[in-house]
Amino acid sequence: MWIKIIGNEVSEVSYASESASDGWFEVTDQDVAPGYIRNEDGSYSLPLTLFAAHHVRDEAERLINQGTLINGVQFRCDTDSISRLEGLVRGFEREAIGPEGKTYKTSAGVDITFTTKAQVQAVLNVADDYRDWILERSAQIQNMASIPDPKDPDLWIKPTT
Protein backbone atom coordinates (compact mmCIF):
# COMPACT_ATOMS: atom_id res chain seq x y z
CA MET A 1 0.00 0.00 0.00
CA TRP A 2 1.21 3.52 -0.76
CA ILE A 3 0.16 6.68 1.09
CA LYS A 4 0.63 10.34 0.33
CA ILE A 5 0.92 12.68 3.31
CA ILE A 6 0.21 16.40 3.26
CA GLY A 7 0.86 18.11 6.60
CA ASN A 8 -0.18 15.64 9.29
CA GLU A 9 -2.89 13.90 7.27
CA VAL A 10 -3.05 11.08 4.76
CA SER A 11 -4.30 12.78 1.61
CA GLU A 12 -4.41 9.74 -0.69
CA VAL A 13 -4.08 5.96 -0.52
CA SER A 14 -3.07 3.76 -3.46
CA TYR A 15 -2.40 0.06 -3.87
CA ALA A 16 -0.59 0.50 -7.20
CA SER A 17 3.21 0.33 -7.30
CA GLU A 18 3.30 3.15 -9.84
CA SER A 19 2.51 5.44 -6.92
CA ALA A 20 6.19 5.21 -5.95
CA SER A 21 7.06 8.82 -6.69
CA ASP A 22 7.71 12.01 -4.76
CA GLY A 23 5.46 12.38 -1.75
CA TRP A 24 4.36 8.73 -1.67
CA PHE A 25 5.44 6.30 1.05
CA GLU A 26 5.10 2.53 0.98
CA VAL A 27 3.61 0.96 4.10
CA THR A 28 3.92 -2.77 4.77
CA ASP A 29 3.40 -5.05 7.77
CA GLN A 30 7.15 -5.10 8.37
CA ASP A 31 7.62 -1.34 8.05
CA VAL A 32 4.83 0.53 9.79
CA ALA A 33 5.63 3.90 11.29
CA PRO A 34 4.43 4.63 14.82
CA GLY A 35 1.02 6.24 14.89
CA TYR A 36 -0.41 4.34 11.92
CA ILE A 37 -3.62 2.38 12.42
CA ARG A 38 -4.16 -1.01 10.76
CA ASN A 39 -7.52 -1.05 9.00
CA GLU A 40 -9.80 -4.10 8.71
CA ASP A 41 -8.76 -4.60 5.07
CA GLY A 42 -5.09 -4.85 6.10
CA SER A 43 -4.19 -1.38 4.92
CA TYR A 44 -2.76 1.31 7.18
CA SER A 45 -3.80 4.88 7.73
CA LEU A 46 -2.94 7.77 9.96
CA PRO A 47 -5.49 9.14 12.40
CA LEU A 48 -7.13 12.31 11.14
CA THR A 49 -4.67 14.34 13.16
CA LEU A 50 -1.29 13.14 14.31
CA PHE A 51 0.25 14.78 17.36
CA ALA A 52 3.92 14.53 18.23
CA ALA A 53 5.95 15.12 21.38
CA HIS A 54 6.81 18.66 20.30
CA HIS A 55 3.09 19.54 20.24
CA VAL A 56 2.83 18.39 23.87
CA ARG A 57 5.97 20.33 24.88
CA ASP A 58 4.63 23.47 23.21
CA GLU A 59 1.30 23.16 25.02
CA ALA A 60 3.06 22.56 28.35
CA GLU A 61 5.12 25.72 27.87
CA ARG A 62 1.98 27.66 26.95
CA LEU A 63 0.24 26.45 30.12
CA ILE A 64 3.25 27.31 32.28
CA ASN A 65 3.43 30.80 30.76
CA GLN A 66 -0.32 31.24 31.22
CA GLY A 67 0.00 30.10 34.83
CA THR A 68 -2.70 29.30 37.32
CA LEU A 69 -5.14 30.98 39.66
CA ILE A 70 -3.73 31.47 43.14
CA ASN A 71 -6.15 32.98 45.66
CA GLY A 72 -8.27 34.23 42.75
CA VAL A 73 -5.36 35.95 40.99
CA GLN A 74 -3.81 34.66 37.76
CA PHE A 75 -0.08 34.07 38.24
CA ARG A 76 2.30 33.14 35.48
CA CYS A 77 4.54 30.20 36.37
CA ASP A 78 7.32 30.79 33.85
CA THR A 79 10.99 31.05 34.85
CA ASP A 80 10.97 34.86 35.01
CA SER A 81 7.89 34.99 37.25
CA ILE A 82 9.23 32.29 39.58
CA SER A 83 12.57 34.14 39.73
CA ARG A 84 10.80 37.37 40.74
CA LEU A 85 9.00 35.60 43.58
CA GLU A 86 12.25 33.97 44.74
CA GLY A 87 13.91 37.40 44.72
CA LEU A 88 11.08 38.77 46.83
CA VAL A 89 11.56 35.92 49.33
CA ARG A 90 15.26 36.79 49.56
CA GLY A 91 14.34 40.46 50.09
CA PHE A 92 12.22 39.51 53.09
CA GLU A 93 14.99 37.23 54.39
CA ARG A 94 17.50 40.10 54.22
CA GLU A 95 14.92 42.35 55.91
CA ALA A 96 15.28 44.73 52.96
CA ILE A 97 11.49 45.09 52.70
CA GLY A 98 9.69 47.24 55.24
CA PRO A 99 6.31 46.62 56.87
CA GLU A 100 4.55 48.26 53.89
CA GLY A 101 5.69 45.28 51.78
CA LYS A 102 6.08 45.28 48.01
CA THR A 103 3.34 45.75 45.45
CA TYR A 104 3.56 44.11 42.04
CA LYS A 105 1.20 44.13 39.07
CA THR A 106 0.47 40.70 37.66
CA SER A 107 0.34 40.05 33.91
CA ALA A 108 -3.45 40.03 34.37
CA GLY A 109 -3.21 43.67 35.54
CA VAL A 110 -3.99 42.98 39.19
CA ASP A 111 -2.00 44.77 41.91
CA ILE A 112 -0.92 42.45 44.70
CA THR A 113 0.93 43.49 47.84
CA PHE A 114 3.12 41.06 49.74
CA THR A 115 3.79 42.11 53.34
CA THR A 116 5.42 38.91 54.63
CA LYS A 117 7.79 36.25 53.44
CA ALA A 118 5.12 33.64 54.25
CA GLN A 119 2.70 35.24 51.76
CA VAL A 120 5.28 35.14 48.99
CA GLN A 121 6.36 31.59 49.88
CA ALA A 122 2.75 30.38 49.75
CA VAL A 123 2.30 31.76 46.21
CA LEU A 124 5.71 30.44 45.17
CA ASN A 125 4.86 26.95 46.47
CA VAL A 126 1.61 26.82 44.48
CA ALA A 127 3.34 28.15 41.34
CA ASP A 128 6.16 25.61 41.69
CA ASP A 129 3.69 22.76 42.25
CA TYR A 130 1.69 23.82 39.18
CA ARG A 131 4.78 24.03 36.97
CA ASP A 132 6.05 20.67 38.27
CA TRP A 133 2.67 19.02 37.54
CA ILE A 134 2.57 20.40 34.00
CA LEU A 135 6.10 19.15 33.29
CA GLU A 136 5.35 15.73 34.79
CA ARG A 137 2.09 15.44 32.87
CA SER A 138 3.82 16.54 29.67
CA ALA A 139 6.26 13.64 30.00
CA GLN A 140 3.39 11.21 30.64
CA ILE A 141 1.48 12.38 27.55
CA GLN A 142 4.62 12.30 25.37
CA ASN A 143 5.15 8.65 26.37
CA MET A 144 1.65 7.58 25.29
CA ALA A 145 1.54 5.16 22.36
CA SER A 146 -0.90 7.45 20.57
CA ILE A 147 -0.55 11.07 21.64
CA PRO A 148 -3.95 12.77 22.02
CA ASP A 149 -4.61 16.41 21.18
CA PRO A 150 -2.51 18.23 23.80
CA LYS A 151 -4.87 21.22 23.69
CA ASP A 152 -7.57 19.09 25.35
CA PRO A 153 -7.83 20.73 28.81
CA ASP A 154 -8.98 17.45 30.40
CA LEU A 155 -5.48 16.02 29.82
CA TRP A 156 -3.96 18.58 32.16
CA ILE A 157 -6.31 18.27 35.15
CA LYS A 158 -4.35 17.31 38.23
CA PRO A 159 -6.03 14.49 40.13
CA THR A 160 -6.95 15.27 43.70
CA THR A 161 -5.28 13.12 46.32
Q: Range with the lowest mean pLDDT among 47-56, 110-119, 152-161?
A: 47-56
CA angle (126 as vertex; 109, 63 as ends), nearest 5: 65
pLDDT digits (tens, 9 = 90+) for 116-150: 999 999 999 999 999 999 999 999 999 988 888 89
Closest CA to 76 of 120, 117, 122, 130: 130
User: Is the pTM higher than 0.95?
Assistant: no
CA angle (111 as vertex; 107, 116 as ends), nearest 5: 110
pLDDT digits (tens, 9 = 90+) for 104-114: 998 889 999 99
pLDDT at 1 over 70: no
